[in-house]
Structure 1
Amino acid sequence: MIRVGGWAEPLTDYFSREISWLAFNARVLALADDADVPLLEQARYLSIFATNLDEFVQVRVSGLADRVAAELTERTLDGHTPAEQLSEVRRIAAELCAEQQRLFIEKLRPALAAEGIHLLTPDEITPDECAHLRDHFEQRVYPVLTPLAVDPGHPFPFISDLSLSLAVLMRDPVVSEQRFARVKVPDTLDRWVETSEGSCRFVALEDVIAAHLDKLFPGMEVLEHHSFRVTRNADLTLNDEDADDLLIAVQIELRRRRFQWAVRLEVADTMSDEVLDLLLRELNLRADALVRVRGPIDLSGLNEIADLPRPELTWPYWGGITEPELVAEDGPADFFKVLRSGDLLVHHPYSSFSKSVGALIRQAARDPAVLAIKLTLYRTSGDSPIIDALVAAAERGKQVAVLVELKARFDEAQNIGWAKRLEQAGAHVAYGLVGLKIHAKIAMIVREEPDGIRRYCHIGTGNYNHRT
């Protein structure tokens, strides 16, 4: 387990923020090695660990690398320079990745196979399965692929952030020249492909593509192929104090984010030095940004396996309780009557979000006596019933005011979409505050009652997201 403070001999009384975060993610990884955790949930924890680490590299590692590149040497509160922190962070992250790969190869795959769920390597596929996969490739995969070769007329292609790719080295037999090509593995298709319908035998999508490179490069001799993935700096460099329009400033930065510089290169451990040197050179990366992977790169796709309909291998479903005060004989209680009698504490996920906070906002949207609903929105789900209720309230003529935090990391684009939808429905939308990030979760409902105007409030610590 990674030390929370990070340093064996700390120089100050302060913990390193970055290394303490890695210790947190190490605890996530430990759950994938816990015999008391159901098997498919172990797979999910491996996926969560991978996603967490991706975001850490995109933001925290990128920030440290920025400071090192700027030759900043000022020590942070934990007593170390940016260069010292970056070196230690990369060392610990490499150890955690190695443990993740070990758990997948040596424990999870065999355990899944014992339960009839097989994650296969290419040499484990039968001839009949190969035929099925060839049909699948031609019908579902081949039309989506766009292979890009490098030659004097075609420079090295741009590799987008977190996109999984195949590096292909081939020879033109006519002129005996070697060429490099990159094939992007489509993220619009399932990562794990079933070898035949209902078989519960899966192979990684990149292996399916690799097995049919002859279709992509007819007449060429494929010498070698290896999977790789690039992680880029995804931290918004937004100077909102100088921004005349925060919405436009965030939209511009989101477009720039796609083309930020690379901070990590993950490669299959079989990759040759020739191909590796090419990638490092073209991506302008040093060897300390390299991560060699034993097994599939990017295990976040294990979510697909964790979602298989095998309830005996997952946690029992928990729908959350409904507080007795919120239950009436003929349906949901009158929330406003309940709250007039006193405050109510709900504890999620033990208490159902949808039947408490969600139901309150829905009831307010329908109630003719409600004059206004005001709410802060940091993150929500892709199919948010909270947004639906706010839109319905605005369309019914109620005053709806929403503060949408555009700088919610990695949810910026989604929040811009929600903001525009709310504005189109007639809601008043504010886009955060200059120089600050609004992380509060607060809602206020203004209602006209016989004794005058009354305000009802919800104050929470979790996002207005019924899924989390």
Structure 2
Amino acid sequence: MAEQKINIPETVPVDLTSPALYLNRELSLLEFQRRVLEEAWDESKPLLERAKFLAIFGSNMDEFFMVRVSGIRKQVEARIMEISPDGLTPPDQLAAIRKLSLELMIEAQRCYQKKLLPRLDKTGIHIIDYQKLNKTQKERADTYFKEVVYPVLTPLALDPGHPFPHISNLSLNLAIVIRDKKGNEKFARLKVPDTLPRLLPIKRSSGSVRKDGTIPYQHYFVWLEQVIAANLDNLFPGMEVTAAHPFRIVRDADIEIQELEADDLLETMQQNIRKRKFGSVVQVAVYESMPENIRELLVDNLEVTRNDVYVLDSPLGLSGLWQLYSNVERHDLKDTPYKPRVPKAFRRAASAADIFEAIRNENILIHHPYDSFNPVVDFINAAARDPQVLAIKQTLYRVGANAPVVEALLEAAERGKEVAVLVELKARFDEESNIGWARALEDVGVHVVYGLVGLKTHCKVTMVVRQEGDGIRRYLHLATGNYNANTSRIYEDIGMFTCDEQIGADATDLFNYLTGYSTKQEYRKLLVAPVSLRKKLEKMIVREIEHAQQGRKGHLIFKLNSLVDPHMIQLLYQASQAGVQVDLLVRGMCCLRPGIKGISENIRVISIVGRYLEHSRIFYFHNDGRENIYLGSADLMTRNLNHRVEVVFPIESKDHIHYLRQRVLDTYLKDNTRARILQTNGTYIRLAPEAGKDIVDVQEKFMS
């Protein structure tokens, strides 16, 4: 079928492609990291939760450099001068990124040194510099060095006979200055082992439960690199160690594969994962105390520029603070554990037949992490064990190391079911895990495919084909988030169980598209990228514009992770110009500028950052009172709309539409605790409850 042309109405004759109307994508992502960092500053949060957010900030910044900065550097090196929608060249972007990144990283170090460290100390968690340890503590640390650390260390000399060694990504190292008996100065490099705890417990009870089951109140730690630096004489006998300067590097970790040239995508992906270890260096973090000649040595040998060197305070690599959160059993310093609910429809489901009956009775919405992920696993387990089930088909994007969903698929195959699974090998930083699961599934006879050439499969769909009477019925689970039991406890997502015939037929066509050569162009109810999603969303936005132009109410509410696609932003500008109220709940990147008179004064952008990662995508259209709501896996980014397989599905139950509009979206829009409002200049202002007004924390509301 030929693609229908959409007539986009002209409103105000303004050039909506003007760079002044767009925020820079990379700087917007850094502003999200600022909001994460704000959580570490927030004194209303439990102390170890603040430490966790500082660790998350550190991990996020590492990934930002590994993926985003490395990509722009490649453009600069290739002399690609493509202008971003906001009018910046790649060199312009690198300069702006460096300035804002350095500001944020310095602020994070200040948060650790000035706020967290003193507060941790007052509450019984002591991170002590090696030089400030008392005699007994030093003896314990030195004994640990001799017994555990020393055998692991490999000092590498730097001289003409010993070329500069390979330094692994995200590694912490010591640049060591030594002097021989003749007074000659030499250099060596030593990697701080990442197989050992970065924060060394000085007491054996620190950070864990005692043998008698009690939990220690006082915890004492010292940074491992400081213990190593204090014991370097053991590594260089007969030499004088005059200095040891920590440094940490970040490498390009973005994998690029030529799928059309790959005979075996799985093998090609494995080769590229190995190559990732040798990506170019994109960041070198050092202390102010590192002398100029050592910095020059690193710059020359790591093939970086001075702008790639970031001078920071201790500690280098804030992600090391994860250890505190994970290992210190101080529940008084953490959020109160939350136990997810089991949705009412599944509470009496004691057997596989009960689960299928519940889905036959009604479509069922499930809202994680407030609702348990167990019904999703139970659904696939039921399909594996039910003798009436003929086939199971599923897409897998990020499933993690502990994957009960995959275990259920393995059992289904072993029981003789027809099982077909699309495993997306190109899920960034989950490639190795997904390769492992793909091989395990293939070993038991599952039909495993790796997706379509040139497209990343990001949709979340499970279809179960069940024999019932003289025919078959298709049961489905569609979702905004991954089939990952671990992240389901910390990511906010929504899924739906249904046996709607048309959605089932669409799912069949979708899996044929993914596993074969089907070129389906129209789906009955599902919106599928790159086939129809962009076109259908545009059509519904234009419909809202037309309602407003005819004097009727127009209202759009989109909940997204990211809003980047220029054409979609232009449509939203046109909607605002026509008088449509546009409420955007965008957790991360947003390149749209709200509040511009005549263009975007009817657009409000809210970002919620809190205990759980906001991950669901919801599309609400007022449609002159005939409200439409869609859920799905796609953000409004060019990659999602054009270069990924995404599925957005309709919510048709009036009860579900009411729940999502009144209970979910309205609560998000009323949040005055975790909400930040995007300003025209790209900064965010955090809301606070007005005097006498109710406190609304959307995540707390859903837990209550």
TM-score (normalizing by structure 1): 0.95
- Written as runs of structure 1 = structure 2, the 5 A alignment for 1:219-238 is 219-238=238-257
Residue 46 of structure 1: aligned partner: 54
Residue identity matched to 1:326:
F
Say whether the 8 Å CA contact 2:460–2:479 is kept in structure 1: yes
8 A Cα contact 1:109 1:119, kept in partner: yes
Match of 2:410 in 1: 391
Residue 11 (structure 1) shift? 3.7
Which residue of the partner structure matches residue 361 of structure 2? 341
Give, in angstroms, the shift of residue 269 of structure 1.
2.2
Match of 1:311 in 2: 331
Match 1:382 to one of 396, 401, 422? 401
Identity %: 47
SS in 2 for 1:250: helix
Worse overlay, 95-104 or 394-403? 394-403
Q: Does 1:274 align with 2:293?
A: yes
Are residue 84 (structure 1) and residue 104 (structure 2) matched?
Answer: no
Give, as a single letter, the amino acid of the residue that structure 2 aligns with 1:345: L
Structure 2 counterpart of 1:438, which letter?
T
Residue 198 (str. 1) matches residue 197 (str. 2) = no
* Deviation for aligned residue 1:329: 7.9
Query: Match of 2:371?
Result: 351
Once the two structures are TM-superposed, the CA of residue 337 in structure 1 deviates from its matched residue by 0.6
Rounded to whole Å, the distance in 2 between the matches of 1:252 and 1:184 is 25
Q: State how far apart, in whole Å, the 2-side matches of 1:125 and 1:221 are.
A: 23
- Would the alpha carbon gap of residues 211 and 333 (structure 1) be closer, same or farther in structure 2, given more than 3 Å must change? farther
Q: Distance in 2 between matches of 1:233 and 1:32?
A: 27
For 1:313 and 1:333, how far apart are their aligned partners in 2?
Answer: 44
> In terms of mean alpha carbon deviation, does 244-253 or 186-195 score higher?
244-253
Gaps of 5+ in 2: 1-17, 207-218, 488-704
1:451, distance to aligned residue in structure 2 (A): 4.2
SS of equivalent to 2:121:
helix
Counterpart position of 2:456: 437
**1:21 pairs with one of 25, 29, 33:** 29
SS at match of 1:32: helix
Structure 1 residue 297 and structure 2 residue 316: aligned? yes
Return the alpha-carbon distance in structure 1 between the equivalents of residues 262 and 71 of structure 2: 22
Provide, for residues 95-122 of structure 1, a one-character-per-residue CA deviation record: whole Å limited to 9, x for no partner. 0000000000000000101100011112
Q: Is the 8 A contact 2:66 2:252 kept in 1?
A: yes
Match of residue 193, structure 2, among 162, 166, 186: 186
Is the aligned partner of 1:144 residue 2:152?
yes
Q: Do 2:250 and 2:284's aligned partners in 1 also have CA atoms closer than 8 Å? A: yes
Q: Give me the whole-angstrom Cα distance separating, in 2, the residues matched to 1:268 and 1:359.
A: 52
Aligned partner of 1:206: which letter?
Answer: E
Cα RMSD, aligned residues only: 1.4
Give the match for residue 411 of structure 1: 430
Partners of 1:331 and 1:371 in 2: CA distance: 17
Q: How far 1:397 moved relative to its partner?
A: 1.2
CA contact (8 A) 2:349 2:355 kept: no
C-alpha distance in 1, partners of 2:474/2:221? 55
Conserved 8 A contact 1:325-1:333: no
Partner AA of 1:210 in structure 2: A
Correspondence for 1:324 among 322, 341, 344: 344
- The question of whether the paired residues in 2 share the 8 Å contact of 1:377 and 1:405 is answered with yes
Residue number among 256, 261, 270 corresponding to 1:242 in the alignment: 261
1:119 alignment partner in structure 2: 127
Which residue does the alignment assign to 1:4?
A: none
Counterpart residue identity of residue 173, structure 2: S
- Alpha-carbon distance between aligned partners in 1 of 2:86 and 2:353, rounded to the nearest angstrom: 52
Q: Structure 2 length as normaliser, TM-score?
A: 0.64
Q: Distance in 2 between matches of 1:451 and 1:218?
A: 83
Q: Is the 8 A contact 1:31 1:42 kept in 2?
A: yes
CA pair 235-329 structure 1, distance change in 2 beyond 3 A: closer
Alignment CA distance shift 1:24-1:78 (3 Å): same
Query: Mapping of 1:155-194 within 5 angstroms?
Result: 155-173=163-181, 175-194=182-201
**Structure 2 Cα separation of the partners of residues 290 and 148 of structure 1:** 22
Q: What one-letter code is carried by the residue in structure 2 that aligns with 1:171? A: R
Counterpart CA distance in 1 for 2:121 and 2:386 is 54
- Structure 1 stretches lacking a partner, 5+ long: 1-9
1:166 to partner: Cα distance: 1.0
Is the 1:169–1:275 contact (alpha carbons within 8 Å) kept by the matching residues of 2?
Answer: no
CA distance in 1, matches of 2:24, 2:269: 29
- Does the 8 Å CA contact 2:352/2:385 hold for their aligned counterparts? no
Give the equivalent residue in structure 2 for 1:218. 237
Partner of 1:105: 113
Q: Deviations over 1:203-246 (max 9, x none)?
A: 11111111111111111101110111111111112121222221
- The answer (yes or no) to whether the contact 2:352–2:386 under 8 Å persists in 1 is no
Query: For the pair shown, which has the larger CA radius of gyration, 1 or 2?
Result: 2
Contact 1:326–1:332, Cα closer than 8 Å, also in 2: no
